[in-house]
Structure 1
Protein backbone atom coordinates (compact mmCIF):
# COMPACT_ATOMS: atom_id res chain seq x y z
CA UNK A 1 0.00 0.00 0.00
CA UNK A 2 2.86 2.36 0.89
CA UNK A 3 4.56 1.67 -2.44
CA UNK A 4 1.30 2.32 -4.27
CA UNK A 5 0.91 5.70 -2.56
CA UNK A 6 4.46 6.68 -3.45
CA UNK A 7 3.93 5.63 -7.06
CA UNK A 8 0.70 7.64 -7.26
CA UNK A 9 2.36 10.68 -5.70
CA UNK A 10 5.21 10.41 -8.20
CA UNK A 11 2.84 10.22 -11.15
CA UNK A 12 0.78 13.18 -9.93
CA UNK A 13 3.94 15.20 -9.27
CA UNK A 14 5.26 14.43 -12.73
CA UNK A 15 1.96 15.44 -14.33
CA UNK A 16 1.97 18.70 -12.35
CA UNK A 17 5.50 19.50 -13.54
CA UNK A 18 4.59 18.66 -17.13
CA UNK A 19 1.45 20.80 -16.99
CA UNK A 20 3.28 23.78 -15.50
CA UNK A 21 6.09 23.51 -18.03
CA UNK A 22 3.68 23.32 -20.96
CA UNK A 23 1.63 26.24 -19.60
CA UNK A 24 4.64 28.56 -19.42
CA UNK A 25 6.01 27.30 -22.74
CA UNK A 26 2.76 28.10 -24.54
CA UNK A 27 2.37 31.76 -23.52
CA UNK A 28 4.30 34.90 -22.70
CA UNK A 29 7.00 37.04 -24.31
CA UNK A 30 9.71 34.40 -24.07
CA UNK A 31 7.71 31.46 -25.42
CA UNK A 32 6.44 33.50 -28.39
CA UNK A 33 9.88 34.83 -29.34
CA UNK A 34 11.60 33.55 -32.46
CA UNK A 35 13.13 31.07 -33.01
CA UNK A 36 10.29 29.10 -31.46
CA UNK A 37 12.08 25.79 -31.97
CA UNK A 38 14.60 27.03 -29.39
CA UNK A 39 12.50 29.20 -27.10
CA UNK A 40 9.58 26.85 -26.42
CA UNK A 41 11.82 23.97 -25.23
CA UNK A 42 14.04 26.43 -23.33
CA UNK A 43 11.09 27.92 -21.45
CA UNK A 44 9.74 24.43 -20.72
CA UNK A 45 13.07 23.19 -19.36
CA UNK A 46 13.65 26.41 -17.39
CA UNK A 47 10.22 26.20 -15.76
CA UNK A 48 10.54 22.54 -14.82
CA UNK A 49 14.06 23.07 -13.45
CA UNK A 50 12.94 26.02 -11.31
CA UNK A 51 10.00 24.05 -9.92
CA UNK A 52 12.17 21.03 -9.14
CA UNK A 53 14.75 23.15 -7.33
CA UNK A 54 12.43 25.41 -5.36
CA UNK A 55 9.83 22.72 -4.80
CA UNK A 56 12.37 20.37 -3.24
CA UNK A 57 13.72 22.89 -0.73
CA UNK A 58 10.79 22.99 1.71
CA UNK A 59 10.44 19.19 2.18
CA UNK A 60 14.24 18.89 2.27
CA UNK A 61 14.47 21.53 4.99
CA UNK A 62 11.70 19.85 6.97
CA UNK A 63 13.43 16.46 6.71
CA UNK A 64 16.78 17.89 7.82
CA UNK A 65 15.15 19.67 10.76
CA UNK A 66 13.52 16.42 11.92
CA UNK A 67 16.65 14.32 11.37
CA UNK A 68 16.73 10.54 11.17
CA UNK A 69 16.83 8.17 8.16
CA UNK A 70 14.45 10.33 6.13
CA UNK A 71 16.86 13.26 6.34
CA UNK A 72 19.77 11.11 5.16
CA UNK A 73 17.74 9.73 2.25
CA UNK A 74 16.49 13.19 1.23
CA UNK A 75 19.97 14.74 1.39
CA UNK A 76 21.55 11.98 -0.68
CA UNK A 77 18.83 12.12 -3.31
CA UNK A 78 18.81 15.94 -3.54
CA UNK A 79 22.62 16.03 -3.67
CA UNK A 80 22.62 13.56 -6.57
CA UNK A 81 20.02 15.34 -8.69
CA UNK A 82 20.63 19.05 -8.03
CA UNK A 83 23.71 19.42 -10.33
CA UNK A 84 21.69 18.26 -13.34
CA UNK A 85 18.79 20.54 -12.40
CA UNK A 86 21.05 23.59 -12.05
CA UNK A 87 22.81 22.69 -15.30
CA UNK A 88 19.48 22.59 -17.15
CA UNK A 89 18.47 25.87 -15.50
CA UNK A 90 21.75 27.51 -16.53
CA UNK A 91 21.69 26.40 -20.18
CA UNK A 92 18.01 27.21 -20.74
CA UNK A 93 18.39 30.55 -18.94
CA UNK A 94 21.28 31.59 -21.19
CA UNK A 95 19.24 30.75 -24.29
CA UNK A 96 16.24 32.77 -23.08
CA UNK A 97 18.38 35.70 -21.93
CA UNK A 98 20.33 35.99 -25.18
CA UNK A 99 17.15 36.07 -27.27
CA UNK A 100 15.18 38.39 -24.98
CA UNK A 101 17.85 40.95 -24.08
CA UNK A 102 18.94 41.18 -27.73
CA UNK A 103 22.22 43.03 -27.04
CA UNK A 104 24.54 43.16 -23.98
CA UNK A 105 23.78 46.86 -23.53
CA UNK A 106 20.13 45.93 -23.03
CA UNK A 107 21.01 44.66 -19.56
CA UNK A 108 21.74 48.22 -18.42
CA UNK A 109 19.63 50.37 -20.73
CA UNK A 110 16.26 48.61 -20.34
CA UNK A 111 14.04 47.99 -17.34
CA UNK A 112 13.78 44.36 -18.46
CA UNK A 113 17.56 44.04 -18.31
CA UNK A 114 17.76 45.67 -14.88
CA UNK A 115 15.15 43.27 -13.52
CA UNK A 116 17.13 40.40 -15.04
CA UNK A 117 20.31 41.61 -13.31
CA UNK A 118 18.51 41.72 -9.96
CA UNK A 119 17.19 38.22 -10.58
CA UNK A 120 20.66 36.96 -11.50
CA UNK A 121 22.08 38.48 -8.31
CA UNK A 122 19.52 36.64 -6.20
CA UNK A 123 20.09 33.39 -8.11
CA UNK A 124 23.85 33.78 -7.63
CA UNK A 125 23.27 34.05 -3.88
CA UNK A 126 21.12 30.90 -4.03
CA UNK A 127 23.84 29.08 -5.95
CA UNK A 128 26.43 30.13 -3.37
CA UNK A 129 24.26 28.74 -0.57
CA UNK A 130 23.63 25.59 -2.60
CA UNK A 131 27.39 25.11 -3.08
CA UNK A 132 28.05 25.57 0.64
CA UNK A 133 25.25 23.13 1.45
CA UNK A 134 26.51 20.49 -0.97
CA UNK A 135 30.26 20.66 -0.41
CA UNK A 136 30.55 21.77 3.22
CA UNK A 137 27.45 20.70 5.13
CA UNK A 138 25.74 17.75 3.42
CA UNK A 139 28.38 15.08 4.13
CA UNK A 140 28.81 15.96 7.83
CA UNK A 141 25.02 16.13 8.24
CA UNK A 142 24.63 12.67 6.67
CA UNK A 143 27.23 11.34 9.12
CA UNK A 144 25.18 12.65 12.03
CA UNK A 145 26.92 15.94 12.80
CA UNK A 146 24.21 17.85 14.70
CA UNK A 147 25.86 21.26 14.27
CA UNK A 148 26.23 20.76 10.51
CA UNK A 149 22.59 19.63 10.27
CA UNK A 150 21.44 22.73 12.14
CA UNK A 151 23.48 25.00 9.86
CA UNK A 152 22.21 23.15 6.82
CA UNK A 153 18.61 23.64 7.94
CA UNK A 154 19.15 27.39 8.35
CA UNK A 155 20.92 27.61 5.01
CA UNK A 156 18.03 25.85 3.26
CA UNK A 157 15.60 28.29 4.89
CA UNK A 158 17.67 31.20 3.56
CA UNK A 159 17.66 29.57 0.12
CA UNK A 160 13.85 29.36 0.24
CA UNK A 161 13.60 33.06 1.14
CA UNK A 162 15.87 33.97 -1.78
CA UNK A 163 13.76 31.80 -4.08
CA UNK A 164 10.62 33.65 -3.02
CA UNK A 165 12.44 36.94 -3.65
CA UNK A 166 13.32 35.76 -7.17
CA UNK A 167 9.67 34.99 -7.91
CA UNK A 168 8.62 38.42 -6.61
CA UNK A 169 11.22 40.15 -8.80
CA UNK A 170 10.05 38.19 -11.84
CA UNK A 171 6.61 39.73 -11.37
CA UNK A 172 8.12 43.06 -12.44
CA UNK A 173 8.55 41.68 -15.97
CA UNK A 174 4.83 42.14 -16.39
CA UNK A 175 5.54 45.87 -16.78
CA UNK A 176 8.81 45.65 -18.73
CA UNK A 177 8.80 44.54 -22.39
CA UNK A 178 12.04 42.78 -23.36
CA UNK A 179 14.53 44.69 -25.54
CA UNK A 180 13.88 42.20 -28.34
CA UNK A 181 10.25 43.34 -28.57
CA UNK A 182 11.15 47.02 -28.40
CA UNK A 183 13.83 46.63 -31.08
CA UNK A 184 11.40 44.83 -33.40
CA UNK A 185 8.76 47.58 -33.15
CA UNK A 186 10.12 50.69 -31.41
CA UNK A 187 7.19 52.90 -32.42
CA UNK A 188 4.82 50.71 -30.43
CA UNK A 189 6.54 51.78 -27.21
CA UNK A 190 6.76 55.52 -27.90
CA UNK A 191 4.92 57.84 -25.54
CA UNK A 192 3.85 61.48 -25.89
CA UNK A 193 2.99 63.41 -22.74
CA UNK A 194 1.19 66.70 -22.14
CA UNK A 195 0.53 68.52 -18.88
CA UNK A 196 -2.97 69.84 -18.31
CA UNK A 197 -4.49 72.05 -15.63
CA UNK A 198 -7.82 73.73 -14.95
CA UNK A 199 -8.89 75.55 -11.82
CA UNK A 200 -6.90 73.86 -9.04
CA UNK A 201 -6.72 70.43 -10.70
CA UNK A 202 -3.80 69.23 -12.82
CA UNK A 203 -2.65 65.96 -14.40
CA UNK A 204 -0.20 64.44 -16.85
CA UNK A 205 -1.75 62.81 -19.93
CA UNK A 206 0.16 60.26 -22.01
CA UNK A 207 -0.80 58.71 -25.35
CA UNK A 208 0.62 55.27 -26.18
CA UNK A 209 1.77 55.35 -28.98
CA UNK A 210 1.36 58.78 -30.65
CA UNK A 211 0.65 57.10 -33.99
CA UNK A 212 -2.57 56.78 -36.01
CA UNK A 213 -4.24 53.48 -35.22
CA UNK A 214 -5.03 51.81 -31.89
CA UNK A 215 -3.95 53.93 -28.91
CA UNK A 216 -4.54 54.24 -25.20
CA UNK A 217 -4.41 57.29 -22.93
CA UNK A 218 -2.95 57.23 -19.44
CA UNK A 219 -3.78 59.84 -16.78
CA UNK A 220 -1.23 60.23 -13.99
CA UNK A 221 0.04 62.67 -11.37
CA UNK A 222 -3.47 63.92 -10.63
CA UNK A 223 -3.42 66.73 -8.05
CA UNK A 224 -5.90 69.18 -6.54
CA UNK A 225 -4.64 72.35 -4.89
CA UNK A 226 -1.13 70.96 -5.19
CA UNK A 227 -1.91 67.76 -3.29
CA UNK A 228 -2.25 64.23 -4.73
CA UNK A 229 -5.84 63.41 -5.62
CA UNK A 230 -7.52 60.03 -5.95
CA UNK A 231 -10.45 60.84 -8.25
CA UNK A 232 -13.78 59.09 -7.96
CA UNK A 233 -13.68 58.58 -11.72
CA UNK A 234 -11.89 59.63 -14.89
CA UNK A 235 -13.41 59.91 -18.37
CA UNK A 236 -11.09 60.48 -21.33
CA UNK A 237 -12.28 61.83 -24.70
CA UNK A 238 -10.34 61.99 -27.96
CA UNK A 239 -11.65 64.00 -30.90
CA UNK A 240 -10.61 65.73 -34.12
CA UNK A 241 -13.20 68.52 -34.39
CA UNK A 242 -11.65 70.04 -37.52
CA UNK A 243 -12.67 66.87 -39.37
CA UNK A 244 -15.88 66.28 -37.43
CA UNK A 245 -14.47 63.12 -35.87
CA UNK A 246 -15.38 62.22 -32.31
CA UNK A 247 -15.19 62.80 -29.52
CA UNK A 248 -14.70 59.18 -28.50
CA UNK A 249 -15.22 58.79 -24.75
CA UNK A 250 -13.87 56.00 -22.56
CA UNK A 251 -14.06 55.40 -18.82
CA UNK A 252 -10.50 55.13 -17.52
CA UNK A 253 -9.65 52.24 -15.24
CA UNK A 254 -7.27 52.44 -12.29
CA UNK A 255 -3.99 50.58 -12.84
CA UNK A 256 -1.60 48.90 -10.41
CA UNK A 257 0.73 51.90 -10.75
CA UNK A 258 -1.81 54.39 -9.43
CA UNK A 259 -2.60 55.77 -12.88
CA UNK A 260 -5.82 55.70 -14.91
CA UNK A 261 -5.85 54.07 -18.34
CA UNK A 262 -8.44 54.49 -21.08
CA UNK A 263 -8.04 52.16 -24.05
CA UNK A 264 -9.93 51.00 -27.10
CA UNK A 265 -9.38 54.10 -29.24
CA UNK A 266 -8.74 53.74 -32.96
CA UNK A 267 -7.49 56.99 -34.50
CA UNK A 268 -8.03 56.95 -38.30
CA UNK A 269 -5.94 60.05 -39.08
CA UNK A 270 -2.72 61.70 -38.06
CA UNK A 271 -2.43 65.33 -36.96
CA UNK A 272 -3.75 67.13 -33.90
CA UNK A 273 -6.23 65.33 -31.65
CA UNK A 274 -7.96 67.10 -28.79
CA UNK A 275 -7.85 65.20 -25.51
CA UNK A 276 -10.21 65.92 -22.63
CA UNK A 277 -9.91 64.28 -19.25
CA UNK A 278 -12.90 64.79 -16.98
CA UNK A 279 -11.81 64.29 -13.37
CA UNK A 280 -14.56 63.50 -10.88
CA UNK A 281 -13.18 65.28 -7.81
CA UNK A 282 -16.19 64.54 -5.60
CA UNK A 283 -19.82 63.53 -5.89
CA UNK A 284 -20.68 67.16 -6.58
CA UNK A 285 -17.74 68.42 -8.62
CA UNK A 286 -15.90 67.48 -11.81
CA UNK A 287 -13.15 69.31 -13.68
CA UNK A 288 -12.35 68.90 -17.39
CA UNK A 289 -8.70 69.15 -18.46
CA UNK A 290 -8.05 69.85 -22.16
CA UNK A 291 -4.95 69.71 -24.34
CA UNK A 292 -3.76 68.43 -27.74
CA UNK A 293 -1.81 65.37 -28.87
CA UNK A 294 0.22 65.51 -32.10
CA UNK A 295 -0.34 62.12 -33.73
CA UNK A 296 1.78 61.07 -36.69
CA UNK A 297 1.11 58.68 -39.56
CA UNK A 298 1.62 54.99 -39.12
CA UNK A 299 4.51 53.50 -41.07
CA UNK A 300 4.98 49.94 -42.25
Structure 2
Protein backbone atom coordinates (compact mmCIF):
# COMPACT_ATOMS: atom_id res chain seq x y z
CA UNK A 1 0.00 0.00 0.00
CA UNK A 2 2.93 2.36 0.66
CA UNK A 3 3.77 2.17 -3.05
CA UNK A 4 0.54 3.89 -4.10
CA UNK A 5 -0.48 5.77 -0.94
CA UNK A 6 2.70 7.73 -0.16
CA UNK A 7 4.56 10.48 -1.98
CA UNK A 8 7.69 8.32 -1.79
CA UNK A 9 5.91 5.52 -3.66
CA UNK A 10 4.53 7.93 -6.26
CA UNK A 11 8.01 9.27 -6.99
CA UNK A 12 9.35 5.73 -7.28
CA UNK A 13 6.57 4.76 -9.71
CA UNK A 14 7.18 7.90 -11.80
CA UNK A 15 10.91 7.13 -11.95
CA UNK A 16 10.27 3.50 -12.94
CA UNK A 17 7.80 4.58 -15.65
CA UNK A 18 10.39 6.98 -17.07
CA UNK A 19 13.02 4.21 -17.06
CA UNK A 20 10.65 1.89 -18.93
CA UNK A 21 10.02 4.67 -21.48
CA UNK A 22 13.77 5.29 -21.85
CA UNK A 23 14.51 1.59 -22.40
CA UNK A 24 11.58 1.24 -24.84
CA UNK A 25 12.93 4.17 -26.86
CA UNK A 26 16.40 2.62 -26.84
CA UNK A 27 15.06 -0.72 -28.08
CA UNK A 28 12.95 0.99 -30.75
CA UNK A 29 15.97 3.00 -31.90
CA UNK A 30 18.14 -0.08 -32.09
CA UNK A 31 15.65 -2.33 -33.85
CA UNK A 32 13.84 0.14 -36.16
CA UNK A 33 15.89 3.29 -36.74
CA UNK A 34 19.60 2.45 -36.47
CA UNK A 35 19.92 0.24 -39.56
CA UNK A 36 18.08 2.61 -41.99
CA UNK A 37 20.03 5.57 -40.57
CA UNK A 38 23.33 3.71 -41.18
CA UNK A 39 22.29 3.34 -44.82
CA UNK A 40 22.09 7.14 -44.98
CA UNK A 41 18.29 7.26 -45.37
CA UNK A 42 17.48 10.92 -44.57
CA UNK A 43 14.00 10.37 -43.06
CA UNK A 44 15.34 7.58 -40.81
CA UNK A 45 18.28 9.74 -39.69
CA UNK A 46 15.88 12.58 -38.74
CA UNK A 47 13.62 10.15 -36.83
CA UNK A 48 16.65 8.70 -35.04
CA UNK A 49 17.90 12.19 -34.09
CA UNK A 50 14.42 13.14 -32.84
CA UNK A 51 14.18 9.88 -30.84
CA UNK A 52 17.62 10.47 -29.30
CA UNK A 53 16.53 13.99 -28.32
CA UNK A 54 13.44 12.51 -26.64
CA UNK A 55 15.68 9.96 -24.85
CA UNK A 56 17.81 12.84 -23.56
CA UNK A 57 14.73 14.68 -22.26
CA UNK A 58 13.49 11.48 -20.55
CA UNK A 59 16.93 10.97 -18.95
CA UNK A 60 16.85 14.56 -17.61
CA UNK A 61 13.33 13.93 -16.28
CA UNK A 62 14.61 10.83 -14.47
CA UNK A 63 17.23 12.94 -12.73
CA UNK A 64 14.57 15.53 -11.87
CA UNK A 65 12.25 12.92 -10.38
CA UNK A 66 15.15 11.42 -8.43
CA UNK A 67 15.91 14.88 -7.04
CA UNK A 68 12.33 15.13 -5.71
CA UNK A 69 12.96 12.05 -3.56
CA UNK A 70 14.83 14.11 -0.98
CA UNK A 71 11.53 15.85 -0.13
CA UNK A 72 9.59 12.61 0.41
CA UNK A 73 10.30 10.55 3.52
CA UNK A 74 10.33 6.79 2.97
CA UNK A 75 7.37 4.83 4.40
CA UNK A 76 9.50 3.29 7.18
CA UNK A 77 10.39 6.80 8.38
CA UNK A 78 6.69 7.70 8.43
CA UNK A 79 5.97 4.59 10.50
CA UNK A 80 8.72 5.48 12.97
CA UNK A 81 7.44 9.05 13.26
CA UNK A 82 3.87 7.83 13.76
CA UNK A 83 5.00 5.60 16.62
CA UNK A 84 6.61 8.49 18.50
CA UNK A 85 4.77 9.40 21.70
CA UNK A 86 3.03 12.68 22.40
CA UNK A 87 4.25 14.18 25.66
CA UNK A 88 3.22 17.04 27.89
CA UNK A 89 4.56 18.39 31.18
CA UNK A 90 1.87 19.60 33.57
CA UNK A 91 2.43 21.63 36.70
CA UNK A 92 0.54 23.44 39.43
CA UNK A 93 1.66 25.01 42.72
CA UNK A 94 1.23 21.72 44.62
CA UNK A 95 2.38 19.09 42.06
CA UNK A 96 3.67 18.36 38.56
CA UNK A 97 3.46 15.46 36.14
CA UNK A 98 4.76 14.14 32.84
CA UNK A 99 2.14 12.52 30.60
CA UNK A 100 3.21 10.38 27.66
CA UNK A 101 0.68 9.05 25.12
CA UNK A 102 2.07 6.19 23.02
CA UNK A 103 1.78 6.24 20.09
CA UNK A 104 1.17 9.96 19.71
CA UNK A 105 -1.48 9.56 17.01
CA UNK A 106 -5.24 9.16 16.87
CA UNK A 107 -6.51 5.71 17.81
CA UNK A 108 -5.80 3.47 20.76
CA UNK A 109 -3.04 4.79 23.01
CA UNK A 110 -1.45 3.93 26.33
CA UNK A 111 -0.84 6.75 28.79
CA UNK A 112 2.18 6.72 31.08
CA UNK A 113 2.06 9.25 33.91
CA UNK A 114 4.82 10.30 36.31
CA UNK A 115 3.69 12.32 39.32
CA UNK A 116 5.95 14.53 41.48
CA UNK A 117 5.61 17.13 44.18
CA UNK A 118 6.40 20.78 43.44
CA UNK A 119 10.03 20.24 44.54
CA UNK A 120 10.47 17.25 42.17
CA UNK A 121 10.15 14.59 44.88
CA UNK A 122 7.98 11.53 44.41
CA UNK A 123 4.32 12.21 45.11
CA UNK A 124 2.10 9.22 45.86
CA UNK A 125 -1.52 10.26 45.37
CA UNK A 126 -4.33 7.93 46.38
CA UNK A 127 -5.89 8.13 42.91
CA UNK A 128 -4.97 9.54 39.49
CA UNK A 129 -7.55 10.21 36.79
CA UNK A 130 -6.64 11.16 33.21
CA UNK A 131 -9.12 13.46 31.46
CA UNK A 132 -8.86 14.35 27.75
CA UNK A 133 -11.14 16.71 25.85
CA UNK A 134 -11.12 18.46 22.50
CA UNK A 135 -13.57 21.38 22.69
CA UNK A 136 -12.69 22.56 19.16
CA UNK A 137 -14.00 19.25 17.79
CA UNK A 138 -16.95 19.13 20.18
CA UNK A 139 -15.54 16.24 22.21
CA UNK A 140 -16.32 16.52 25.89
CA UNK A 141 -14.17 15.13 28.68
CA UNK A 142 -13.14 11.47 28.42
CA UNK A 143 -12.16 10.23 31.90
CA UNK A 144 -10.08 7.16 32.68
CA UNK A 145 -8.73 6.12 36.09
CA UNK A 146 -5.01 5.33 36.09
CA UNK A 147 -3.50 2.21 37.62
CA UNK A 148 -0.40 2.42 39.78
CA UNK A 149 2.66 1.10 37.90
CA UNK A 150 5.36 2.09 40.41
CA UNK A 151 6.10 4.55 43.15
CA UNK A 152 5.62 7.64 40.97
CA UNK A 153 4.28 5.94 37.83
CA UNK A 154 0.70 5.41 36.72
CA UNK A 155 -0.75 3.88 33.52
CA UNK A 156 -3.93 4.04 31.50
CA UNK A 157 -4.11 1.33 28.84
CA UNK A 158 -6.56 1.03 25.96
CA UNK A 159 -7.43 4.73 25.87
CA UNK A 160 -8.96 5.71 22.51
CA UNK A 161 -8.21 9.18 21.13
CA UNK A 162 -10.72 9.45 18.27
CA UNK A 163 -9.31 12.44 16.33
CA UNK A 164 -5.99 14.16 15.69
CA UNK A 165 -5.53 17.72 16.84
CA UNK A 166 -4.78 19.68 19.98
CA UNK A 167 -6.25 17.99 23.05
CA UNK A 168 -6.76 19.46 26.49
CA UNK A 169 -5.16 17.18 29.12
CA UNK A 170 -6.11 17.24 32.79
CA UNK A 171 -4.88 15.06 35.63
CA UNK A 172 -6.98 14.83 38.77
CA UNK A 173 -4.70 13.80 41.65
CA UNK A 174 -6.42 12.76 44.86
CA UNK A 175 -3.55 13.62 47.21
CA UNK A 176 -5.49 13.01 50.42
CA UNK A 177 -9.08 12.33 51.41
CA UNK A 178 -9.68 16.09 51.38
CA UNK A 179 -7.35 17.41 48.66
CA UNK A 180 -7.75 17.12 44.90
CA UNK A 181 -5.00 18.65 42.74
CA UNK A 182 -5.75 19.38 39.08
CA UNK A 183 -2.96 19.68 36.50
CA UNK A 184 -3.83 20.95 33.02
CA UNK A 185 -2.14 21.40 29.66
CA UNK A 186 -2.34 20.76 25.92
CA UNK A 187 -0.98 17.93 23.78
CA UNK A 188 -0.87 17.55 19.99
CA UNK A 189 -2.09 14.22 18.60
CA UNK A 190 -1.03 13.35 15.04
CA UNK A 191 -3.00 11.46 12.37
Q: What range is the shorter-chain TM-score in?
A: 0.5 to 0.7
The number of residues matched between the two structures is 116
Q: Equivalents in 2 of 1:233, 1:227: separation in Å? A: 17
Conserved 8 A contact 2:97-2:115: yes
Q: Are 1:210 and 1:293, in contact at CA under 8 Å, matched by a contact in 2?
A: no
The CA distance in 1 between the partners of 2:154 and 2:96, in whole Å, is: 14
Partner of 1:211: 105
- For residue 132 of structure 2, what is the aligned residue in structure 1? 238
For 2:145 and 2:168, the matched residues in 1 are separated by 17
Q: Which residue of 2 aligns with 1:137?
A: none
Query: Which residues of structure 2 form unaligned runs of 5+?
Result: 1-75
CA displacement, residues 43-100 of structure 1 (integer Å, 9 cap, x when unaligned): xxxxxxxxxxxxxxxxxxxxxxxxxxxxxxxxxxxxxxxxxxxxxxxxxxxxxxxxxx
The reply on whether 1:287 has 2:181 as its aligned counterpart is yes
State the Cα deviation string for residues 247-282 of structure 1 (Å, max 9, x = none): 110000011474101122222211101110111111
Q: Is 1:260 paired with 2:118?
A: no
Name the CA shift for 1:254/1:187 in 2 (closer, same or farther; >3 Å). Answer: farther
Quickly say closer, same or farther: Cα 1:184–1:291, change in 2 above 3 A.
Answer: closer
Match of 2:80 in 1: 186
In structure 2, what is the Cα distance between the partners aligned to 1:245 and 1:255?
28
* Partner secondary structure for residue 228 of structure 1: coil
CA distance in 2 between partners of 1:214 and 1:269 (Å): 11
- Contact kept? 2:94, 2:181, Cα under 8 Å: no
> Which of 247, 251, 267 is 2:141 aligned to?
247
Identify if the C-alpha distance between structure 1 residues 220 and 293 changes in structure 2 by more than 3 Å, giving closer, same or farther. same
Over residues 177-217 of structure 1, what are the superposed CA-to-partner deviations in whole Å (9 max), with x where a residue is unaligned?
A: xxxxx999535641222111112211111111110111122
Moved over 2 A (4+): 182-189, 224-227
Write the deviation string for residues 206-263 of structure 1: whole angstroms up to 9, x where unpaired. 1111101111221114224443211111000111011221311000001147410112
2:121 to 224, 227, 244: 227
Distance 1:287 1:246 in 2: 20
SS state at 1:242 partner: helix
Q: Which has the higher contact order (CA 8 A, sep 6+)?
A: 2
Matches within 5 A, 1:12-51: none
Partners of 1:204 and 1:258 in 2: CA distance: 10
TM-score, normalisation: structure 2: 0.54
Q: Return the alpha-carbon distance in structure 2 between the equivalents of residues 292 and 260 of structure 1.
A: 19
| Contact 1:193-1:206 at 8 Å conserved across structures | yes
Following the alignment from structure 2 to structure 1, what is the Cα–Cα distance between the partners of residues 78 and 160?
Answer: 22
